[in-house]
Structure 1
Amino acid sequence: MLKFPKHFTIISRHKLILPPLFLHTTTTTTTTNFSSDQTINSFVEKCHSMRQLKTLHAQIILCGLTHDTISLSKLISFCALSTSGDLPYAYNLFDKIPQPNRHMYNTLIRASSNNKSSNKAIFLYKEMVCSGIYPNEFTFPFILKACAFRKAYLEGVSVHLHVVKLGFSESHTIVQNGLINFYVGCGKIEFAQKIFDYIEVRTLVSWNSMIGGCAKEGGWKDAFFLFRGMREEGLDPDGHTFVNLLSVCSKTSDMDLGRFVHWYIEINGVNVDVYVQNALLDMYAKCGNLLTAGLVFKRMVNKNVVSWTSMVGAYAKHGFVELAKGIFNEMPVKNVVSWNSMISCYLQNGFCKESLQIFYKMCDSGMVPDETTITSVLSACSQLGDLVTGKKLHHYIRDNSVIKPTVTLYNSLVDMYAKCGSTEIALDVFLDMPEKNIVSWNVIINALAIHGSGYRAIELFQEMEACGIQPDAVTFSGLLSACCHCGLIEIGGYLFNKMSRVYKIPYDIEHYACMIDILGRGGLLNEALELVGKMEMKPDVVIWGTLLGACKIHRNVEIARLVLKQLLELESYNGGLYVLMGNIFCEAKQWDDMKKVRKLMKDYGVRKSDAVSSIEIGGCIYDFMVDDKKHEASDLIYDILNQLTDHLKSESIDFSYLDHF
C-alpha cells in the first residue's frame, strides 16, 4: 500500500492539502484545488530542489493529472535546465509521455547539448523529426551545437538541409550563427565562411564565431582581417574577441601581433576580465617573453587557478624549475592541472625523483590523479627503473572504476614495464589491450629489441602488417635495433631495404646508425664504411662512434684511424669516444698512438663522464658512482664488498680484474 508523506493529506481525486513548502507559509496549511493547470505550474515554479519536485510529481500521478502536457513540460524543464535539476530524471519522465510535444523535445535537446550528452541530443532530434514534429528556431542552435561537439558532420549537414527546407536560413541570425559554429567545430572553415558571407545582419556572435574558427585553424591573417572588418562595421569587440585573437598569436608564436592586441586593449581602455588576462599571459609565455608574462601576472587583481597554472607551465617549459616551484607553492588553490604542471616540470627537466615526490604530495592532499598524472608518473618510473611504484600505479588503474584507460595510458604502462626490465609483463599488457595504435606496436617492438628478443619483435611486426597497420620510421628503428642486438645481418638488410622500397619511408640518421652497427658487429666493416659514404646527410658523431665501436670489437686499427680523423674534423670532444680510441690502440700495442690520444684529450680538456649506477632497495632508488662515499652506510657497504672480493679470490679463480675497482 502506498504511503503518503505526513505533511500531505488527500481530500479527493483532484484536491489535496499542500504543505507550507509550496505555499510560502510557515504556520498554516491551505486546501488547494490541484485540478487547475495554472495551479500546478505555479507549484512547479516554486520548487527549489529535486526532492520538492519529486514529491509534487508523485501527487500529480496519484491525482491522475498526468494528461496535462503543459504541466509535464514544466516538470521536464525544471529537471533538465535548473541548476538543482536532474537530467536522467527528466529523461525518465519524458519516456513515460505517450505523445511528447516540441517544447519537451527542445528542452531535452538543449539540456543534452549543454551537459555534453551530445549523442542523446542527436538521438532526440532524429526521434522528433521521425515523429512528425517540425523543429524550429529554438531547436536548431542546440542540435547544431551537439553535432559540433561530437564532430557529427553528416548529421549536422542533415540539420542544415532541414534549416533550408523549413525557411530558417535567411532571417534567423541565431540559427545562422549555430551553422557557423557547427562548421567551425567540424573544421570546415570554408563552409562557415559561406554562411557568414550570406548573413545580412551580422551580430557580435557572428564575428566572434568566425574569428574563433580562424584562430582554431591557426589562420592569423584571416582572423585579423575579420577583426578589421568587424571594427569597420562599427561593432566593438568583447572579451571573446580578444581571447580568440590572442589564442591565434599563441599558436603561431607571433608576439608582434600579440603586442598589437595588448596595445589595442590598453589604448582603448578596454575593461578586460580574468579570461582575457589569462590569454595575454599565455600568449607572452608561449612566445618566450617570460618577463612580460610575469608582469601581466603580477598586475592581475583576481587571479584564478588557470592564471597560476599558466605561470607554472611557462617557467617549466623554459627550464626555470625553481621559479615554477615558487609560484606553485604560493598557489592558494590547486587543481589537478596545477599538480600535473609541476610533475611535468620536474620530469621535463630530468628531476624524476622530484616528480614522484610531488605526486606523493598530490595524493596526500586528497587530489585524485587523472590519466595525465598517471602517464607522467609512469614516465618517471620508466626513467628511474622504479618498478615498485609502476606496479602500484598499474594496480590503481586496474582497481579504479573511475579511470577508463585510454590507449595512451596502456602505451605508458607497456613502456614502463619494458624499461624496468619486465618484458614479459609488458608483452602481457600489450596483448590484453582492447585497442592498439601505431605507438603501441612501436613501444613493444622497441622493448623486445632492447632486451634481445629480436625474433619475437620481428614476429610482432609481421602481425602488425597482417592487421593492416602502416609502420613508420620509429617502427623500423626498433626492428633494426632488434636485428643489431641479435646479430641478424641478413634480416636487418632486408628490413632496411623494405623500409625505403616498399613503405617509401625516408631514412633518418638513426636508421643509418642501426644498419652500420649491424654490419660493424658482423665484421663487415668495409660495407659499413661504404654505407656511410652513401648517406644523404653528413655523418655525425653517433655514426662515427658506432663505427668506432665495431673497430674495437674486430680490432681494425686502420678504419679506426679514419674515424679518429673524422672526429677531429667534427671537433667532437666526447670523452667516451677518445677513451674507446685509446683502448683500440692499447689492445693493438700501438703505444705511441695511445699517447697521442691521451695528449689530445688533455689539450682539448676532454674528460670521461662519470658513470652513475642505480639500485632499488625497499622501493627506494639509490644512485652511486665508483668510490662513492656519500651514502650513510657506505662503510658497511664497502666492508661487505671487500669480504665478497676476498671470498672470490679464495676460490682459486682468476678475478684479477677486480683489482681495478
Structure 2
Amino acid sequence: MENVECASMENLNFLSPPNFQPLLQNYTNSQHLTQIHAKIIRSNLSTNPILASQLLHLHSSFGNLNCASSIFHRIQSPSTFSWNLIIRAHTINSSSSKSLILYNLMICAGVPPDKFTFPFVIKACAASSAVEKGKEVHASVIKSGFYCKDLFVKNTLLDMYLKCGSLECARKVFDEIPVKNVVSWTTMVSGLVGFRELDCARKLFDQMPVRNVVSWTAMINGYVSNGRPQEAFELFSQMQVEGVKPNEFTLVSLLRACTELGSLILWWWKGRGKRKEGGKRRGRVVRGGWDVWLTAGSYGGGGRMEERERKEVGKKRKKIKIMLFK
C-alpha cells in the first residue's frame, strides 16, 4: 500500500481500481479523500462503478453533496445501489427536497427501488412535511411487497405520518404491524404525546411489553410539557423501581417539572434512593461514566436558573450544577 501512496505522478495512469480501494478504505480526513479522488480522476478511473460507489458514499459522509452529485451524474446507467447512495446522501444532509426529486428521477428511469430506498425517501417526506408524497411512497411500498415483511419500513412510515400531523394514517400503520418492537411502540407513544393525547399515550405506554429509557422519557416529557409535573415524578419513581436508568433527556424533563411545581424535588440516585442535606435535596445521576449533580432549594430571587458546566478531560465526566431561584 505504501508503494501505491508513493507512486509518482507519471505512473498514476497505471494504477488500477484494486490499487485505489485500499487508499479509499484508509483515508484519514476530507482533504485526504479529495486528494485520492483527484488521483482517480487523473487516472481516468472516475467512471469505474466500484470506485464511483465508494467515492459517492465517502463524500456523502462528509456532507460534500456537490462532489457526490458530480460523481453520480458521471455514472452511466446507475444501479439501484447508486441511486440509494445519492438519495441517502441528500436525506442525511438536510436536502430532503432534492432527495424526493432524485427518487422521482429514479422511478422515471425505470430503476426499481428496494427496501433500502424507501426508508430514506420516507424520511425525506417527513423532513419536507410532504404527506401526500409520503402516501404515494407508501402505496409503492405496498405494491413492491416490502410493507408486509419489513418492520423498519413500517416504523419509518409511522414516524413520517406522525411528523406530518396525520394521526389517523399513523394509527392505521401502527395497527397493521402484527409484531411491534420497542421502536414501534415508542414512536406511537411519542406521537400521541405530540398530539396532546396524554391519556391515550399512557394507556399505550402501559401496554408495552418492553420499555427502554427512550419510552420512559417520552412519556415523562409528555406530562411535563402538558402541565402535569406530579405525574411525571410518579412515572419517574416507577421507572426507578423497574431498574431503568435515566439519561440526560430524562433529567432535563424532570428539571422542567421542578420549575412547574415551584420547588425542586431532587434525588440522589445511584440505585439507593434519596438523601437530604442541609434542608435541601441534592441529586446525582450516574450513567455511562457521566455524573450529573443537581442542587436546588427555595431561595429568594428573581425566578431565574443558572447553569454551569465543567468537563474533566481524561475522566470523561461532565458535572452540571443547577441552582433554581424562586
Task: Report the TM range for the smaller structure's normalisation.
Answer: 0.7 to 0.9
1:128 paired to 2:127: no
Query: Residues 299 and 163 from structure 1, CA distance in 2 versus in 1: closer, same or farther, beyond 3 angstroms?
Result: same
TM-score (norm 1): 0.41
> How many Å separate the matches in 1 of 2:158 and 2:228?
26
1:270 paired to 2:254: no
1:299 to 272, 275, 283: 283
Query: Residues 320 and 169 from structure 1, CA distance in 2 versus in 1: closer, same or farther, beyond 3 angstroms?
Result: farther
- Structure 2: gaps of 5 or more residues: 270-280, 312-325
Query: What residue is the counterpart of 2:165 in the other structure?
Result: 187
Q: Which has the higher strand share?
A: 2
Letter in 2 for 1:94: F
2:32 to 46, 52, 55: 52
Query: What residue is the counterpart of 1:247 in the other structure?
Result: 221
Work out which structure has the larger RCO, using CA pairs closer than 8 Å and 6 or more positions apart in sequence: 2
How far did 1:7 drift? 5.4
How far did 1:8 drift? 4.4
> How many Å separate the matches in 2 of 1:331 and 1:230?
36
Query: What residue is the counterpart of 1:283 in the other structure?
Result: 257
Deviations 1:296-353 (A, max 9, x none): 99424579xxx99x999xx9xxx9754626x24x4559xxxxxxxxxxxxxxx9xxxx
How far did 1:173 drift? 0.2
Letter in 2 for 1:241: S
**How many residue pairs get matched?**
292
> How many Å separate the matches in 2 of 1:97 and 1:311?
59
> How many Å separate the matches in 2 of 1:142 and 1:179?
11
How far did 1:283 drift? 3.1
Deviations 1:125-147 (A, max 9, x none): 11211111111111111111111
> How many Å separate the matches in 2 of 1:332 and 1:11?
54
> How many Å separate the matches in 2 of 1:39 and 1:56?
11
- Structure 1: gaps of 5 or more residues: 1-5, 16-33, 334-348, 350-661
1:9 paired to 2:20: no
Query: What residue is the counterpart of 1:107 in the other structure?
Result: 85
> How many Å separate the matches in 2 of 1:298 and 1:8?
63
> How many Å separate the matches in 2 of 1:158 and 1:320?
58
> How many Å separate the matches in 1 of 2:170 and 2:136?
15
Query: Residues 52 and 85 from structure 1, CA distance in 2 versus in 1: closer, same or farther, beyond 3 angstroms?
Result: farther
Deviations 1:398-420 (A, max 9, x none): xxxxxxxxxxxxxxxxxxxxxxx
Query: Residues 130 and 102 from structure 1, CA distance in 2 versus in 1: closer, same or farther, beyond 3 angstroms?
Result: same
Whether contact under 8 Å (1:122, 1:143) holds in the other structure is yes
> How many Å separate the matches in 1 of 2:23 and 2:44?
17
Letter in 1 for 2:283: R
How far did 1:245 drift? 0.2
Whether contact under 8 Å (1:246, 1:283) holds in the other structure is no
> How many Å separate the matches in 2 of 1:147 and 1:188?
13
How far did 1:48 drift? 1.6
Query: Percent identity, aligned pairs only?
Result: 26
What secondary structure, in the 3-state scheme, does the structure 2 residue paired with 1:66 have? coil
What secondary structure, in the 3-state scheme, does the structure 2 residue paired with 1:292 have? coil
Deviations 1:140-182 (A, max 9, x none): 1111111112111111111111101111110100000011011
Query: What residue is the counterpart of 1:141 in the other structure?
Result: 119
Query: Residues 311 and 215 from structure 1, CA distance in 2 versus in 1: closer, same or farther, beyond 3 angstroms?
Result: farther
> How many Å separate the matches in 1 of 2:103 and 2:206?
38
What secondary structure, in the 3-state scheme, does the structure 1 residue paired with 2:165 have? coil
How far did 1:189 drift? 1.4
Letter in 1 for 2:225: K
How far did 1:14 drift? 4.2
Whether contact under 8 Å (2:63, 2:93) holds in the other structure is no
Query: What residue is the counterpart of 1:324 in the other structure?
Result: 304
> How many Å separate the matches in 2 of 1:38 and 1:290?
66
Q: Which has the higher helix share?
A: 1
1:80 paired to 2:60: yes
What secondary structure, in the 3-state scheme, does the structure 2 residue paired with 1:54 have? helix
Query: Residues 320 and 137 from structure 1, CA distance in 2 versus in 1: closer, same or farther, beyond 3 angstroms?
Result: farther
Query: What residue is the counterpart of 2:316 in the other structure?
Result: none
1:219 to 197, 203, 206: 197
Query: Residues 321 and 163 from structure 1, CA distance in 2 versus in 1: closer, same or farther, beyond 3 angstroms?
Result: farther
Whether contact under 8 Å (1:49, 1:85) holds in the other structure is no
Whether contact under 8 Å (1:13, 1:64) holds in the other structure is no
Query: Residues 87 and 173 from structure 1, CA distance in 2 versus in 1: closer, same or farther, beyond 3 angstroms?
Result: same
What secondary structure, in the 3-state scheme, does the structure 2 residue paired with 1:170 have? helix
How far did 1:289 drift? 4.2
Whether contact under 8 Å (2:266, 2:283) holds in the other structure is no
